[in-house]
Amino acid sequence: MKKQKEENPIKALAEEIFGGVKDKKEFNNILSELFKHGIETVLKAELDEHLDHPRNEESQDGNYRNGTSKKTIKSSIGDLALNIPRDRNSTFSPMFVPKHERMIDGIEDVVIGLYARGMNTRDIEDQIRDIYKIEISETTVSNITNRVIEYMKQWQNRPLESVYYTVWMDAISIKVRENGRVNNKSVYLIIGLNKEGKKEVLGMWINMTESASFWMTVLTDLKARGVQDILIACTDNLKGFTEAIKATFPLTDTQLCIVHQIRNSTRYVVWQDKKQFVAGLKEVYNAPNIEAALHAFETFKTTWGKKYAYAVRSWENNWDELTAYFAYPLEIRKMIYTTNVIESMNSTIRKYTKTKTVFPDDNAALKAIYLAINIIERKWTNQIRNWGLIVNQFLITFENRCLI
């Protein structure tokens, strides 16, 4: 005899409740009531646990249930008028619908997600109204996104690892309104390659301009948060940058970005010569070793030294930092000879913040950039390519400094 299949109780309940529903409006009304009573049931259970005694039993501390208070919250199925249970001593703080919260069911996450992707407060207000049929004001949107600032501060001050194998350092320019004027400011950013072979943004700092002296302040902050050593630092050729790094982390090897150097060099070259000029430089930075690179540079210098003396001299003056990558195996060279890693992140940040042409203050700028970084870092879940090989190369090259 076949065993009768047990009926799913949830399915049976759904058929009982929605069996006679004829249209979407009626369905939504019933769903709203179910949602409301479901939340109130959870809140009552929370109060029971808080009081630690069942209804109608005597309290040990003199605290009892004390009726309910009215509270309207916004959810993805519309406004809900809830009866929030209270206790006589006013010590009950519900977790399911926290005090002062006016939204549940992920609406706040939606607002923050839209803001992170570059939408302004008015557009978010319209989007929430169109999709969820919920009315929220621009002020509410601002209040929700402002809560991110506390998380941002915790993130900015979190402890860091003691050693980073590589860091990429760069700054982006933003416009901030201050004292009635619009100023250009720099946001300093650092990506670190940790001992698991994964990238992480170590922090962000804002200053009026980009300078080597402020980069020293940034690096000092990394030290205060636990960083003891950086093996290789990849930067642009900002004047004094290398000295600032050495003053803070004396053992760190510095590598100037080849791409930045080429851009700076070609500014002094007329367009008719640029193709040949860059081809000559390619022979230098694509050389198999430092000896071949030096030979290629001598040829380049002979060809262009007189016509573009300043451009050639800039390579001579920065030769050690421009060619530091030749000291490493090919896999490490590919990671460090440019700052493409951080420039790619900066490009994405600009994409998410492009609608905010002028930020009202520093906090608004940092908040938007922090949210963009959150989105970017979600994609950094895997180790960098060939990490098993690369980590062994680091361990051999920096034998006494790597921690695993």
Task: Report the 3 state secondary structure along the chain.
Answer: CCCCCCCCHHHHHHHHHHCCCCCHHHHHHHHHHHHHHHHHHHHHHHHHHHHCCCCCCCCCCCCCEEEEEEEEEEECCEEEEEEEEEECCCCCCCCCCCCCCCECCCHHHHHHHHHHCCCCHHHHHHHHHHHHCCCCCHHHHHHHHHCHHHHHHHHHCCCCCCEEEEEEEEEEEEEEEECCEEEEEEEEEEEEECCCCCEEEEEEEEECCCCHHHHHHHHHHHHHCCCCEEEEEEECCCCCHHHHHHHHCCCCEEEECHHHHHHHHHCCCCHHHHHHHHHHHHHHHCCCCHHHHHHHHHHHHHHHCCCCHHHHHHHHHCHHHHCHHHHCCHHHHHHHCCCHHHHHHHHHHHHHHCCCCCECCHHHHHHHHHHHHHHHHCCCCCCCCCHHHHHHHHHHHCCCCCCC
Whose tokens are 């921690």? That residue is 403
* Under 8 Å between Cβ of 60 and 73: no
Tokens of 331: 């896999």
Q: Within a domain: residue 266? A: yes
Tokens of 302: 């002979």
* Under 8 Å between Cβ of 238 and 210: yes
Range of the domain at 135: 106-146
The pLDDT value recorded for residue 357 is: 82
CA distance 247 to 69: 61
Claim to verify: residue 238 and residue 322 sit in the same structural domain: yes
CA distance 48 to 32: 25
CA distance 255 to 236: 8
Q: Within a domain: residue 364? A: yes
Claim to verify: residue 129 and residue 2 sit in the same structural domain: no
* Under 8 Å between Cβ of 188 and 125: no
The residue count for the chain: 404
Q: Within a domain: residue 154? A: no
Whose tokens are 């519309």? That residue is 78
Q: Within a domain: residue 355? A: yes
Q: Within a domain: residue 403? A: no
Claim to verify: residue 127 and residue 229 sit in the same structural domain: no
How do the pLDDT tens digits run along the chain, 404 residues long? 455 555 566 566 566 666 666 777 776 676 667 666 666 776 777 787 777 766 656 566 678 788 888 877 766 556 778 888 888 888 887 766 667 666 655 556 666 666 666 666 777 777 666 655 666 666 766 766 666 788 888 999 999 999 999 999 999 999 999 888 999 999 999 999 999 999 999 999 999 989 999 999 999 999 999 999 999 999 988 888 999 999 999 999 999 999 999 998 898 899 999 999 999 999 999 999 999 999 999 999 999 999 999 989 999 999 999 999 999 999 999 999 999 999 999 999 998 888 778 888 898 889 889 888 988 998 898 999 899 999 999 999 998 886 65
Claim to verify: residue 142 and residue 58 sit in the same structural domain: no
Claim to verify: residue 192 and residue 89 sit in the same structural domain: no
CA distance 365 to 356: 9
The pLDDT value recorded for residue 1 is: 47
Claim to verify: residue 82 and residue 49 sit in the same structural domain: yes
Claim to verify: residue 194 and residue 283 sit in the same structural domain: yes
CA 158 and chain centroid, separation: 14
Q: Within a domain: residue 343? A: yes
Choosing from 89, 116, 146, the residue where a domain stops is: 146
Claim to verify: residue 181 and residue 281 sit in the same structural domain: yes
The pLDDT value recorded for residue 56 is: 59
Q: Within a domain: residue 402? A: no
* Under 8 Å between Cβ of 329 and 262: no
CA 400 and chain centroid, separation: 32
Claim to verify: residue 136 and residue 168 sit in the same structural domain: no
CA distance 370 to 359: 14
Claim to verify: residue 127 and residue 89 sit in the same structural domain: no
CA distance 96 to 99: 9
Name every residue whose Cβ is closer than 8 Å to that of residue 205 and which is 6 or more positions away in sequence: 187, 188, 214, 217, 218, 221
Instruction: Find, among 104, 2, 110, the residue nearest to 43 by Cα.
Output: 104
Choosing from 74, 104, 134, the residue where a domain stops is: 104
The pLDDT value recorded for residue 178 is: 86
Choosing from 93, 114, 146, the residue where a domain stops is: 146
Claim to verify: residue 375 and residue 314 sit in the same structural domain: yes
Q: Within a domain: residue 152? A: no
Number of structural domains found in the chain: 3
Claim to verify: residue 180 and residue 322 sit in the same structural domain: yes
